[in-house]
Amino acid sequence: MNLQTTYLGLKLRNPLVIGASPFCDNLTACRELAEAGVAAIVMHSFFEEQIGATPRELGGSADGLVEGREQLSELFPHYEDYRLDSEQYLRQLERLRKLVDIPIIGSLNGSHMGNWVGQVQRMEDAGAAAIELNPYQLPTDPSRPADDIEREIVELVRTVAAAVNIPVSVKLSPFHTSLAHFASTLAANGAAGVVLFNQFYQPDIDIDALEAVTQLRLSHSSDLLLRLRWLSILSPQFSGSLACSGGVHTTQDLVKALLAGADVVQVVSALLRYGTGHVASLLKGLEAWMSEHEFYSVDRVRGQLNLRKCADPAVHERAHYLKVLQSWQV
C-alpha cells in the first residue's frame, strides 16, 4: 500500500500527524511516535502572551470589563509558568529536528499583530519545516463587525507568511459566516493550507461554588462530523492543503476524514487515551481497509466522498438537513 501524501508541499510517508500537544515536550515519546510511523509532529503553540503582551493589547477594551488592568493580567499564566519559554521552545524544536527524521511543524497562537510575530522567523531558523498559525480569539465586543475580525486575521496571516520561506497553515474556527470564502481569502494571502478545526474549551458553571470552571476535554469520534462536513465542502474548491484536527480515534475515523478530502489527519486525544502504540493500530487498520476496498494509494482514497460532483453543495446540504428532520417519527 502506498500511504504517502503531500501536505503544505511536504512529502509525508503517510497522512497521520501528531497535532499541537504536550507530546513535543517529551523526547522519548516523540521518538516512539516517529518509530511507530507518524509522518510529522506539530509542536504545541507558542502564545503571543509569552512575549510581554499587555492586557490592552490582548483585549482592546478589556479594561472596562474588570477593575483595572492588573486584575486582567492575573487571568493569564505568568511568563515563567509556560511549559517552554521562547528560548526553550526553539531549543526543543532543534532537538526534535535532530532526533527524528520526520518534519517538525512549529505552532504560533495569537490574535493581534505584535512583536511576537517575529518568533516565526526564529522557528524557521531552528529548523521548523512549516508553521501552524492559530489565530484563536472569541469576539465578544458587539460593536466590532465580523469583517474587521476577519480582516485582522488575514493581515496576520499575510504578515507571518511573508516573514518566512516555509509554508504556513492556519488553524480555523468553524464559526465564520462564510467559511469557504474565508479559507480562499487566506490562501490568496499566503496560507498554504488550513486546519479544520480549532478545539474550543467551553467553561462550565459550578452551581455550589457559584463560579465558572474550565477543564481540558479530550475529543471524541462524534466531534469528527463537523470536520467531515467542511472537508467535503472545501476539498473540491480549496487550492491549499487540508488537515483534519479533532475527533479521529479509530481507523474508521481516519478513513472517513480521507474520504471527505483531508490531506492529513492530526491525532492527539486518541494517543493520550490509548498511548503511542495506537499509531501502529491506526496505520495497520488503514492499510487493511484500503486492501479490502482495492485502494492502493491514499491519493485514490482522498476526496472520494466529497462534494466535487455536486452541482450546488448548499442545496445538497439543505436537502440532507430536511431529510434528517423528516426521518424522526413520533
Q: Which pLDDT tens digit goes with each residue over 55-104? A: 444 444 434 434 444 544 555 555 455 567 889 999 999 999 999 999 99
Query: Model confidence over 31-46: pLDDT tens digits?
Result: 999 999 999 999 999 9
Through-space distance between the first and last CA atoms of the chain, rounded to whole angstroms: 48
d(CA 124, CA 41): 15
| Angle between helical axes of 27-36 and 86-99 (0-180°, round to 10) | 40
Query: Model confidence over 258-313: pLDDT tens digits?
Result: 999 999 999 999 999 999 999 999 999 999 999 999 999 999 999 999 988 777 77
Query: Model confidence over 172-208: pLDDT tens digits?
Result: 999 999 999 999 999 999 999 999 999 887 889 999 9
Q: How many CB atoms neighbour CB 163 within 10 A? A: 16
| DSSP per position, 193-238 | EEEE-PPP---EEETTTTEEE-------GGGHHHHHHHHHHHTTT-
- The enclosing domain of 106 has a CATH number of 3.20.20.70
Query: Model confidence over 130-165: pLDDT tens digits?
Result: 999 999 888 889 999 999 999 999 999 999 999 999
pLDDT band at 25 (very low <50, low <70, confident <90, very high): very high
pLDDT band at 320 (very low <50, low <70, confident <90, very high): low
Total of domains in the chain: 1
Q: How many CB atoms neighbour CB 81 within 10 A? A: 9
SS3 content of the chain, % helix, strand, coil (to 5): 45, 15, 40
pLDDT at 65: 38
> Domain range for residue 195?
5-326
pTM (2 decimals)?
A: 0.88
Q: Which of 170, 212, 161 is nearest to 194 (CA)?
A: 170
Under DSSP, is residue 167 helix (H, G, I), strand (E, B) or coil?
coil
Backbone angles phi, psi at 94, to 5 degrees: -65, -40
Rounded to 5 degrees, what angle do the CA atoms 222, 298, 300 make?
Answer: 105
